[in-house]
Chain A
Amino acid sequence: MAEPELLVAPNVIEYPFSRTTGPMIGAFMTALREGFIVGCTAADGRVIVPPVEYDPDTAEALTEVVEVGDAGVVASWSWVREPLDGHPLDRPFAFALITLDGADVPMLHAVDTGGDVAAMATGMRVRARWADEREGSILDIACFEPEGAR
Chain B
Amino acid sequence: MGAERVAVVGIGQTKHDTIFDGSIAGLVRTAAERALADARMTWADIDAVVIGKAPDFFEGVMMPELYLADALGAVGKPMFRVHTAGSVGGSTAIVAQDLIAAGIHKKVLTVAFEKQSESEAMWALSLPIPFQPPMHAGAGGYFAPHIRAYMHRSKAPDHVGILVAVKDRLNACKNPYAHLHEHDITFDSVKDSMMLWDPIRFSETCPSSDGACAMVLTDEAGGDAAAADGRPPAWVHGTAFRSEPTMFAGRDQVNPQGGQDCAADVYRQAGISDPRREIDVVEMYVPFSWFEPMWLENLGFCAEGEGWQLVEAGVTQMDGDLPVNCSGGVLSSNPIGASGMLRFAEAAMQVRGQAGEHQIDGARTALGHAYGGGSQFFAMWIVGAAKP
CB contact list, A14-71 vs B, under 8 A = 15-23, 25, 52-59, 61
Count of B interface residues, CB-CB < 8 Å: 28
Q: Which residues of A contact B25 (CB under 8 A)?
A: 22, 53-54
A18 to B75, CA, bound (A): 28
A17 touches B23 (CB 8 A): no
Interface-located stretch among A5-13, A88-96, A100-108, A141-149: A5-13
Known contacts A9-B131, A22-B23, A25-B23, A17 near B118 by CB under 8 Å: yes
The yes or no answer to B26 lying at the interface (CB within 8 A) is yes
A54 touches B29 (CB 8 A): yes
Q: Which residues of B contact A58 (CB under 8 A)?
A: 43
Task: Fill in one digit per residue for B236-269: 1 if any A CB lies within 8 Å of its CB, else 0.
Answer: 0000000000000000000000000000000000
A15 touches B120 (CB 8 A): yes
A-B contacts, CB under 8 A, total: 61
Known contacts A54-B29, A56-B75, A59-B43, A21 near B118 by CB under 8 Å: no
Closest partner residue, chain A, to B42 (CB atom):
A59
Q: Which residues of B contact A56 (CB under 8 A)?
A: 70, 75
Closest partner residue, chain A, to B68 (CB atom):
A54
Q: Which of A9, A19, A55, A59 contacts B118 (CB 8 A)?
A: A19
B130 touches A11 (CB 8 A): yes
Interface size band for A: 20 to 34
A59 touches B19 (CB 8 A): no
Q: Which residues of B contact A61 (CB under 8 A)?
A: 29
Known A20-B118, A59-B70, A59-B72; further 14 A-B contacts with Cβ < 8 A: A9-B130, A15-B123, A17-B119, A18-B117, A18-B118, A20-B21, A20-B117, A22-B23, A25-B23, A53-B25, A53-B26, A57-B75, A58-B43, A59-B73
- Name the 5 nearest CB pairs between A and B, nearest first: A22-B23, A59-B73, A9-B130, A54-B70, A15-B120
Taking beta carbons and an 8 Å cutoff, which residues of B are in contact with A?
19-23, 25-26, 29, 43, 59-60, 70-73, 75, 115, 117-120, 123-124, 127-131
Taking beta carbons and an 8 Å cutoff, which residues of A are in contact with B?
7, 9-11, 13, 15-23, 25, 52-59, 61
